[in-house]
Amino acid sequence: MTEDFHRPVMVLETMSHLLQDRPSIHLDCTLGDGGHALEVLRRSPETFVIGFDVDGEALSVAKERLDREFGGRFLALKADYRRLPEVLAGLGVPRVDTVLYDLGVSSRQLDSPERGFSYWGDGPLDMRMDPEKGTTARDILMTYSGEELARILRDYGEERFARRIVREILKVREEREIDTADVLVDIVKRAIPVGARTGGGHPARKTFQALRIEVNNELGLLQRAILDGFYHLRPGGVMAVLSYHSLEDRVVKSTFRSLSESGEARRVTLKPVTPEAEEVETNPRARSAKLRVVKREMRHDTFI
Ligand SMILES: C[S@@+](CC[C@H](N)C(=O)[O-])C[C@H]1O[C@@H](n2cnc3c(N)ncnc32)[C@H](O)[C@@H]1O
C-alpha cells in the first residue's frame, strides 16, 4: 500500500458547495483514498462524515489516513452506494446534509497493474472494484457472444471500431486466453486502422473503459442511486456529482433536470463546472471531469 494518494479532483469547486458551518452529516458515496472527505473534515469542524466504498483496499487507506486526525468524526463502511437506503437505515441515519458522488475509478486502482484496470503492463484482466465478487474482464472477453461484446464496446466505450476489435477478440480466444492487459492491447492495435493507432490517447482506452463499466455495472442503477442520495438529503441539503465520461454525465444531467422540473430540486449548476486549465496540467486525470450540483427544495411533502 503506497502513501501516494489519489488526488481529489476539483476540490475548491466541490467544497464551495459542500461545506457547512453547523453540526451536520456529510455522506461520501465514493470514499476512495478519502481526499474529498479529508477536505470536508478539515474545513467543516462540526461535520460528521460517513464514507462508502466497495474497494477494501481504498477503505483501509482512507481509514488509516483519516482516523489519525478525525477518528471521532468519521465512519468508513464497505458499502455499495446502490444499497444506500438500507445502509443508512442500518446506521439509524434518516437524513444527511450533503452528499458527494465522485464516480469512476481511482488513481490507486488505475495504477495497480494487479487490479487490471490499466492498459500498461501485463496485469491480469480483472477490473473489479470489489475484488471479492463479480465477473472479471477476462471472463467477459472469453465467454460473451460477439454481439454482446460489440454492444459493450459501442455503448460503454463509444468505440467506432467495435466490430473490428470484436472480430479479433473472437479469433484470438479460439487460440489462447485473453487474460492480461498486454494481450488485449495487442488485439486492439491489430484490429484498428493504422491511422487510428496514434493520436487521440491510447488506442485501447475506450475498450478498457467499456469493459470496466460492464464488469462493475457502473451505469446500471446509477440514476436510482443518485435519486436515493437525493431523497436522503434534508430540505436545503446539497448533492454534488463528479463524472468523468459523457455516459455518466448524461445520467446525472437528466436526473437533475427531472428533479428540477418536478420542483423538488434547484439546479445550483445549470451547466457542468469543469476544472481550471491549471488543475488539468498538474493532474491530467481531471481533464474529463464535470461537476453538477443540486439543492433540495423545501416542500410541504418533503417529510412524507
Ligand atoms: C474517483 S474514486 C473516489 C476518490 C475520492 N473522492 C478521493 O478523493 O480519494 C471512486 C471510488 O468509488 C468507488 N466505487 C465505485 N463504485 C462504487 C459503488 N457502487 N459503491 C461504492 N463505491 C464505489 C471506487 O472503488 C473508487 O474508490
39-98: per-residue pLDDT in tens? 999 999 999 999 999 999 999 999 999 998 898 899 999 999 999 999 999 999 999 999
Residue 117: is its pLDDT beyond 70? yes
- Alpha-carbon gap, residue 124 to 100, rounded angstroms: 31
- Alpha-carbon gap, residue 218 to 181, rounded angstroms: 20
Confidence at residue 129, expressed as pLDDT on a 0 to 100 scale: 93
244's grid cell:
468523468
Residue 137: is its pLDDT beyond 90? yes
Protein residue whose Cα sits closest to atom 2 of ligand 1: 106
Residue 36: is its pLDDT beyond 90? yes
Higher-confidence position of 75 and 107: 75
For cell 446509477, name the residue. 222
Higher-confidence position of 78 and 201: 78
Cα-to-centroid distance, 3 and ligand 1 (Å): 17
Cα-to-centroid distance, 29 and ligand 1 (Å): 7
Cα-to-centroid distance, 282 and ligand 1 (Å): 21
Q: Is the CB of 83 under 6 A from ligand 1?
A: no
- Cβ distance 61 to 1 under 8 Å? yes
Cα-to-centroid distance, 103 and ligand 1 (Å): 6
Q: Is the CB of 55 under 6 A from ligand 1?
A: yes
Confidence at residue 11, expressed as pLDDT on a 0 to 100 scale: 97
Confidence at residue 302, expressed as pLDDT on a 0 to 100 scale: 56
For cell 439543492, name the residue. 295
Cα-to-centroid distance, 31 and ligand 1 (Å): 5
Confidence of residue 212 (pLDDT cuts 50, 70, 90): very high
CATH hierarchy code of domain 113-215 = 1.10.150.170
CATH superfamily of domain region 11-104+220-296: Vaccinia Virus protein VP39 (3.40.50.150)
Mean pLDDT of the 120-129 span: 90
- Cβ distance 289 to 244 under 8 Å? yes
237-271: per-residue pLDDT in tens? 999 999 999 999 999 999 999 999 999 999 999 99
Provide the 3-class DSSP secondary structure of residue 165: helix
Q: Is the CB of 101 under 6 A from ligand 1?
A: no
Confidence at residue 301, expressed as pLDDT on a 0 to 100 scale: 61
Element (H, E) at 242: strand 233-243
Q: Is the CB of 214 under 6 A from ligand 1?
A: no
| Single-letter amino acid code for the residue at 274 | T
Q: Is the CB of 248 under 6 A from ligand 1?
A: no
Protein residue whose Cα sits closest to atom 5 of ligand 1: 32
Q: Is the CB of 228 under 6 A from ligand 1?
A: no
Dihedral class, residue 134 (left if φ above 0, else alpha if ψ from -120 to 50, else beta): left
- Dihedral of alpha carbons 150, 156, 161, 164, sign: negative
Q: Is the CB of 229 under 6 A from ligand 1?
A: no
Residue 1: is its pLDDT beyond 50? no
Protein residue whose Cα sits closest to atom 8 of ligand 1: 35
Cα-to-centroid distance, 176 and ligand 1 (Å): 33
CATH 1.10.150.170 residue ranges for the chain: 113-215
What residues form DSSP beta bridges with 291? 242, 273
Cα-to-centroid distance, 263 and ligand 1 (Å): 30
Confidence at residue 300, expressed as pLDDT on a 0 to 100 scale: 61
- Cβ distance 20 to 44 under 8 Å? yes
- Cβ distance 123 to 29 under 8 Å? no
Within 123-275, where are the H helices? 137-143, 146-157, 162-175, 181-191, 205-215, 222-231, 246-261
63 CB neighbour count, 10 Å cutoff: 17
201 CB neighbour count, 10 Å cutoff: 7
270 CB neighbour count, 10 Å cutoff: 9
Beta strands in 58-125 (DSSP E): 74-78, 96-102
Provide the 3-class DSSP secondary structure of residue 27: strand
Q: Can you tell me which atom of ligand 1 is nearest the CA of 225?
A: 19
Mean pLDDT of the chain: 93
- Alpha-carbon gap, residue 125 to 113, rounded angstroms: 9
CATH 3.40.50.150 residue ranges for the chain: 11-104+220-296
- Dihedral of alpha carbons 295, 33, 274, 160, sign: negative
Percent of residues, the chain, with pLDDT higher than 90: 82
Q: Is the CB of 275 under 6 A from ligand 1?
A: no
- Cβ distance 216 to 128 under 8 Å? yes
Q: Is the CB of 97 under 6 A from ligand 1?
A: no
Provide the 3-class DSSP secondary structure of residue 66: helix
Provide the 3-class DSSP secondary structure of residue 5: coil
Cα-to-centroid distance, 202 and ligand 1 (Å): 23
